[in-house]
Amino acid sequence: MTARQLRALRLARLVGAAAIVAAAFHHGRLAAAGVGDVTRHEVFVGLDLALAALLALRPRWALAPTIALTLQQSWSHGADLVASLQGPGPIDTSSALVIVFFPALVALLIVERGAGR
């Protein structure tokens, strides 16, 4: 893998970390407003920030937690997406994005790890 490709992978990983930080802020706003399950939102603030830090600082350590979070998010958001597809309402676009984002992040970490990073 060329140096340019490695830089592109690193940039993509850091963009992924930034997206997860944005999700943490979203969960924080929901918790502060008392929307939904406040405790769940608070837990996800911590999980998201911890994963973003691993992605930025220790990407090799991030693979297993990313896989675990991918499985959990796929179960939760996958069910929400299927329900939105079966119902008369609009498609749950945020769940669709989550379903695409996390497996792509896992793939990126695997490729980056295989490249010796």
Name the residue with higher pLDDT: 105 or 115: 105
Question: What values do phi and psi take at 2, rounded to 5?
Answer: -75, 165
State pTM to two decimals. 0.90
Q: Do the Cβ atoms of 81 and 92 come closer than 8 Å? A: yes
With vertex at residue 51, the alpha carbon angle to CA 14 and CA 107, rounded to the nearest 5 degrees, is 60
Residue 50 scores a pLDDT above 90: yes
CA–CA separation, 45 and 41 (whole Å): 6
pLDDT tens digits for range 7-17:
999 999 999 99
pLDDT of residue 38: 95
Task: Retrieve residue 116's tokens.
Answer: 């010796």
